[in-house]
């Protein structure tokens, strides 16, 4: 996460107040996140599974769809004249998964063949593509994408993050089926299965098997969710993204955990299981995560990302599939959507 320039003058004030907050006021911040305002930003059509999202420096939200191989730009202003603009439709694949930014307005997207209701994942069908968003505006025409790498040895690629906080060229990608993390250097296009760990593994027999799912790097540490094992784990990293040792559990009681994000204090906002949840790693309460909201607007929540404008810096955007059960019953009543939740916590700054 990094801040849009108009916000910069405010940055020291907010960061100082958040970081120096006493445990009591931190608790107040956490308590305030328990009944936040929840605003529907954009509804996709019924039967559209929004799988992940990223936020551009200009505040526009990039949403990846799993049910069609497309990325849309969603305007955070719910009354925009162009609420959602198609960015790209990927060829020869059925859907999109993780998305992350490596350098300003250069985003990478995981694509692959994953059927929610039928065959599950097609091993080896996954690729990572580059989208250069510079100059792309709401209401514009779709842009080209460049394929960076195929992953013929992958099982089920899912969440993706940048290895280095600033200026790096390496992506880390969760393989939910293999229980592993792949690295991809976008300059050399070198691909390596860089981490495997028992805490990343899917539960044997689960169908579809979904082990390690969301991934984020903070302070040379990889944080990850494991949906089957219902946990958030972490592992310290070497400079090349390999693990310095075995992973350990951060949250051991995270049913349905999908993707997540860390705030500036290192606390976790976790999507999944029809809720947005909060785990105060700073206070270390040890218990299950608190429910931030279980509004029907976040039914089928899949991922969470902080805003980057002065107006949404202490809000998160949540992507949803509208409720996972619909994809098995094939009776759709609630669309996949982008929702804003005013959590009163800020994302980690990555000044460039």
Ligand X SMILES: *[C@@H]1O[C@H](CO)[C@@H](O)[C@H](O)[C@H]1NC(C)=O
Q: Which residues bind ligand X (CB under 6 A)?
A: 40, 42-43, 78, 92-94, 113, 122, 124-125, 192, 194, 238, 240, 242, 294, 296, 334, 337
Q: Residue 5, SS3?
A: helix
CB of 42 to ligand X, least distance (A): 6
Question: Which CB atom, from 229 or from 302, has the smaller least distance to ligand X?
Answer: 302
The 3-state DSSP class for residue 161 equals: strand
Rounded to a whole number of angstroms, the minimum distance from the CB of residue 112 to ligand X is: 8
Shortest gap between Cβ of 123 and ligand X (angstroms)? 8
Find all residues with CB under 8 Å of 99, minimum gap 6, and list them. Answer: 52, 53, 54, 62, 64, 71, 107, 108, 109, 110, 160
How far apart CA 332 and CA 284 sit, in angstroms, is: 39
For ligand X, which is the closer residue by CB, 1 or 149?
149
CB of 21 to ligand X, least distance (A): 28
| Closer residue to ligand X (CB): 185 or 229 | 185
**Angstrom distance (rounded) from CA 21 to CA 19:** 6
Burial label, 59 (beta-carbon count in 10 A; 0-12, 13-18, 19+): middle
Tokens 């051991």 identify what position? Answer: 252
C-beta of 77 vs 281, nearer to ligand X: 77
CB of 69 to ligand X, least distance (A): 8
Closest-CA residue to 39 (of 276, 302, 331): 276
Q: Which is nearer to ligand X, 87 or 195 (CB)?
A: 195
Which CB atom, from 65 or from 262, has the smaller least distance to ligand X? 65
| Six-digit token string for 228 | 């089957």
Residue 82, both tokens: 């162009």
Which residues 6+ apart lie within 8 Å of 134 measured at CB? 104, 105, 106
| Least distance CB 65 / ligand X (angstroms) | 14
Q: What are phi and psi of 296, to 5 degrees?
A: -60, -20
Which residue number has the CB closest to ligand X?
40
Provide the minimum distance between the beta carbon of 111 and ligand X in the complex, in angstroms, as a whole number: 9
Which of 103/192 has CB closer to ligand X?
192
206 CB-side CA count, 13 A:
18
């Amino acid at each position: 996460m990094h801040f849009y320039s108009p916000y910069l003058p405010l940055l020291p004030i907010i960061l100082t107040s958040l970081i120096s907050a006493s445990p009591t006021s931190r608790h107040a911040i956490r308590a305030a996140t328990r009944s936040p305002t929840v605003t529907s930003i954009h509804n996709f059509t019924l039967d559209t599974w929004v799988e992940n999202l990223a936020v551009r420096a200009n505040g526009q939200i990039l949403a990846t769809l799993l049910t069609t191989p497309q990325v849309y730009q969603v305007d955070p202003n719910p009354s925009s004249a162009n609420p959602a603009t198609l960015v790209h439709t990927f060829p020869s694949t059925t859907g999109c998964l993780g998305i992350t930014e490596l350098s300003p307005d250069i985003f990478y997207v995981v694509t692959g063949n994953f059927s929610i209701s039928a065959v599950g994942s097609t091993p080896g069908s996954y690729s990572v593509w580059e989208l250069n968003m510079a100059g792309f505006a709401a209401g514009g025409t779709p842009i080209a994408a460049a394929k960076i790498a195929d992953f013929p040895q992958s099982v089920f690629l899912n969440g993706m993050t940048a290895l280095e906080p600033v200026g790096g060229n390496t992506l880390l990608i969760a393989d939910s089926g293999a229980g592993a993390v792949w690295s991809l250097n976008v300059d050399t296009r070198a691909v390596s299965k860089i981490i495997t760990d028992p805490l990343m593994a899917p539960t044997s027999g689960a169908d579809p098997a979904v082990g390690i799912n969301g991934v984020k790097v903070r302070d040379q540490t990889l944080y990850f969710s494991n949906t089957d094992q219902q946990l958030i784990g972490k592992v310290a990293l070497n400079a090349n993204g390999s693990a310095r040792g075995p992973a350990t559990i951060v949250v051991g009681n995270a049913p349905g955990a999908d993707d997540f994000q860390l705030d500036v204090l290192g606390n976790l906002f976790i999507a999944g299981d029809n809720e947005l949840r909060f785990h105060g790693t700073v206070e270390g309460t040890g218990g299950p995560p608190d429910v931030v909201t279980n509004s029907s607007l976040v039914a089928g929540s899949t991922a969470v990302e902080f805003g980057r404008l002065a107006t949404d810096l202490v809000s998160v955007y949540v992507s949803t599939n509208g409720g996972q059960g619909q994809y098995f019953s094939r009776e759709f009543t609630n669309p996949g959507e982008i929702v804003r939740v005013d959590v009163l916590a800020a994302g980690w700054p990555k000044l460039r």
